[in-house]
Amino acid sequence: GDLERLLRICDRVTLYCDSEDTALLSSEFMSRRGRSIGRRSMPIALRDRADTRRVDVVDCTSMDANVAYIRHSYFDLNVHVVGDFQELITTGRSASQRGRLVHAAAERTGNVFSFLAPPVFISW
């Protein structure tokens, strides 16, 4: 598929996903192609296990700083996301080695991560 083709030219792929992204939801509805990869906050497994280890999924569903509840523009507004972009680009590290992320799953073996920050619905 498309992800396997992308991995032919990239050492690492990080997908920043939001299951409530309304722009992607609208696209799914209009194209009738099924759920977009950008709304999948679940482990991704590819045929080649080595390729699977080169893919990280960062679940951004609980992130704040979205534009008018569209939930598609958080990447340039949230300091955690921008900091993770910077670390990924400058170091090339996997999500498990980046400082702002933690495994989202209890077993700690999957490729889904969340930001090490309180979700927006928690108030202090």
> Alpha carbon of 114 to those of 95, 105, 123: distances in Å?
9, 9, 19
Q: Which residues contact 56 (CB under 8 A, 6 or more apart)?
A: 12, 13, 14, 15, 94, 95, 96, 111, 113
Average pLDDT score over the chain:
82
Buried b (16+ CB within 10 A) or exposed e, 46-79: eeeeebbebbbbbbbbbbeebeeeebbebbeebe
Contact between 113 and 102 under an 8 Å Cβ cutoff? The reply is: yes
Residue pointed to by tokens 């509805």: 29
49-63 pLDDT per residue, tens: 888 889 999 988 877
- Digit-coded pLDDT (tens) for 14-66: 988 888 888 888 888 888 877 777 777 888 888 888 888 899 999 888 776 55
Taking the model in full, what pTM does it have?
Answer: 0.82
Residue 107 Cα distances to 101, 110, 112, angstroms: 15, 7, 11
User: Which strand (E) or helix (H) includes residue 6?
Assistant: helix 2-9
Q: Is the pLDDT higher at 77 or at 93?
A: 93
Tell me the HSE value of 29 on the side-chain side, using a 13 A CA sphere: 6
